[in-house]
A and B are shown apart, each in its own frame.
Chain A
């Protein structure tokens, strides 16, 4: 195996947890997230010798993660199936705020993939609109539109629950 090539193994060891967290948010499933990260690292490895600044490698992998997660093709490989209800998630907190976060997590998983990716990059990775546009290979206008529509959909889905809780 060639995983020790020029620091690649060290890069994986140092960044895999952080990258897996991002992948988890992008696909809302731990196992699919590992598949997604594995795919992204395979592609990164193939180009590792061309990435002169290994410090930028994490951004590169993040881009591959996001674009792959948005791609319907890769999701086919995940065996993703459309379901009537978003998949269940672990419930750790039975309080109102815990219920709200659980509802948010479910609704996030039900968003269209590009909207979800934009929201993850914006509100978890704290990227600017310009950086998100570069990461996903779309225009800034498309980023704004996806973020706006995603947030609006989350509001619409969560408002009934907020009213119930209050």
Chain B
């Protein structure tokens, strides 16, 4: 009887779960961040990695490909990181100014996965329950919010490559995506149908992902709805004028490379770099100018971690570059770029313990040094 076998199977699988998940706040930071970052790395990272993450930290991993990177500042190697950080609902911006954010009804868990991105005129704080624009003057404006206690699906927000706009999808609104001009903080466009969510940007167009995981392009300025779809499942890791993504190769490893959004979102075999195995969880954080990606990889099954490494991005593909040499015994959890050659790597830590100093790494040499927190 299939029912009996089903019961036995589920009981056996359930019994294999013999320990509680690590759900303390710090653990949510530790493990949740890792997973969330992977998402951001995926579609927005899932960005998403969309993901991205934070626990209190988080970082602007958006691709401001139309901006020139800031030149490295002449400052001590261990100077405090010049990246925005979010902790306990307070945004600390480069320079050290602290900006309290509005209280939220889901302060403990949901906000741990919020991401901070540098955009035109300030910073964008985005998570599954709210999207905030924080101006350089310190003014905070809610662009989208999920009501306290709302049980339904969540928000996804992705800033445009130039940092001028943000595309937001809210399932409460039946999955429609709208674009907000960050200069005026007003909606300027909305998708005609509610069956997709924002995954990334390609130039001035929004990459939408449908329920069946297929991708399509939407031009917010013209309302065009390009129904060309992806031919194979692909996870996008960065947008801009060059769309990067990875897919699963036939041998179980993942291959990252430029995605062709004008045809079928396929990754060409000749410009694809195999970077991680199916058991790994990897987060990709693009540099400000989009010339590099830092990859943070952990073995999802073995629990082991490998040192972060840098991928160089060219018009023809992606190549594995420098491996970063971190000091200390903590695991890397996420990263943020100070400029196109310097990246800050954040570490895991346990609740009640002091946070390990983030480490500043130079991608030309792979050298890393702890910074002053």
Query: A37 CA to B32 CA in the complex, in Å?
Result: 11
**Which one of A1, A77, A80, A120 has the greatest number of beta carbons of chain B within 10 Å?**
A77
Query: Which residue of A is nearest B12, CB measured?
Result: A101
Query: Which residue of A is nearest B247, CB measured?
Result: A81
**Which one of B20, B38, B148, B156 has the greatest number of beta carbons of chain A within 10 Å?**
B20
The one of A1, A73, A79 that contacts B154, using a Cβ cutoff of 8 Å: A73
Query: A29 CA to B305 CA in the complex, in Å?
Result: 20
Tell me, yes or no, whether B342 is within 8 Å of chain A by CB: no
Contact with B along A140-166 (1 / 0, CB 8 A): 000000000001001100100000000
Contact A104 B5 (CB under 8 A): yes
Contact with B along A67-86 (1 / 0, CB 8 A): 10001111011111111000
Contact B9 A108 (CB under 8 A): yes
Give the contacts of B7-25 with A (CB-CB under 8 A): 7-21, 23-25
Tell me, yes or no, whether B109 is within 8 Å of chain A by CB: yes
Contact A24 B17 (CB under 8 A): yes
Instruction: Give every chain A residue within 8 A of B3 (Cβ-Cβ).
Output: 123, 151
Contact B151 A25 (CB under 8 A): no
Give the contacts of B92-133 with A (CB-CB under 8 A): 105-110, 128
Contact B19 A105 (CB under 8 A): no
Give the contacts of B30-83 with A (CB-CB under 8 A): 31-32, 35, 38-39, 42-43, 46, 48-49, 51
Instruction: Give every chain B residue within 8 A of A1 (Cβ-Cβ).
Output: 25, 108
Interface of chain A, helix or strand or loop or mixed? helix
Instruction: Give every chain A residue within 8 A of B13 (Cβ-Cβ).
Output: 21, 24-25, 89, 105
Task: Give chain A nearest CB distance to B130 CB in angstroms.
Answer: 12
> How many of A's residues come within 8 Å of B, CB to CB?
56
Contact with A along B202-221 (1 / 0, CB 8 A): 00000001011100000000
Tell me, yes or no, whether A56 is within 8 Å of chain B by CB: no
Query: A100 CA to B5 CA in the complex, in Å?
Result: 8
Contact A101 B5 (CB under 8 A): yes
Instruction: Give every chain A residue within 8 A of B43 (Cβ-Cβ).
Output: 76, 79
Query: A66 CA to B14 CA in the complex, in Å?
Result: 16
Give the contacts of A12-54 with B (CB-CB under 8 A): 12-13, 16-17, 20-22, 24-25, 30-31, 33-35, 37-39, 41-43, 45-47, 50
Contact A77 B46 (CB under 8 A): yes
Q: Decide: A46 near B110, CB < 8 A? Known: A76-B197, A90-B16, A101-B5.
A: yes
Contact with A along B275-306 (1 / 0, CB 8 A): 00000010000000000000000001000000
Contact B10 A25 (CB under 8 A): yes
Instruction: Give every chain B residue within 8 A of A46 (Cβ-Cβ).
Output: 105-106, 110, 148-150
Instruction: Give every chain A residue within 8 A of B281 (Cβ-Cβ).
Output: 31
Query: Which residue of A is nearest B26, CB measured?
Result: A1
Query: Which residue of A is nearest B51, CB measured?
Result: A77
Instruction: Give every chain B residue within 8 A of A124 (Cβ-Cβ).
Output: 7, 10-11, 14
Instruction: Give every chain B residue within 8 A of A117 (Cβ-Cβ).
Output: none
Task: Give chain B nearest CB distance to A56 CB in angstroms.
Answer: 15
Tell me, yes or no, whether B153 is within 8 Å of chain A by CB: yes
Contact B39 A82 (CB under 8 A): no
Contact A123 B10 (CB under 8 A): yes
Q: A77-B46, A77-B48, A81-B213 are in contact. List 10 more A-B contacts (CB 8 A).
A: A12-B23, A33-B21, A34-B21, A38-B28, A43-B106, A46-B105, A78-B39, A100-B5, A119-B6, A123-B7
A-B contact pairs, 18 of them (CB 8 A): A16-B23, A17-B20, A34-B35, A35-B32, A43-B151, A45-B106, A77-B48, A77-B51, A79-B43, A79-B46, A101-B8, A104-B6, A105-B9, A123-B3, A123-B6, A123-B7, A151-B2, A151-B6
The 6 A-B residue pairs with the shortest CB-CB distance, nearest first, are A42-B109, A73-B153, A21-B14, A104-B9, A1-B25, A124-B10
Q: Which residues of A contact B (CB under 8 A)?
A: 1-3, 12-13, 16-17, 20-22, 24-25, 30-31, 33-35, 37-39, 41-43, 45-47, 50, 64, 67, 71-74, 76-83, 89-90, 100-101, 104-105, 108, 119-120, 123-124, 151, 154-155, 158
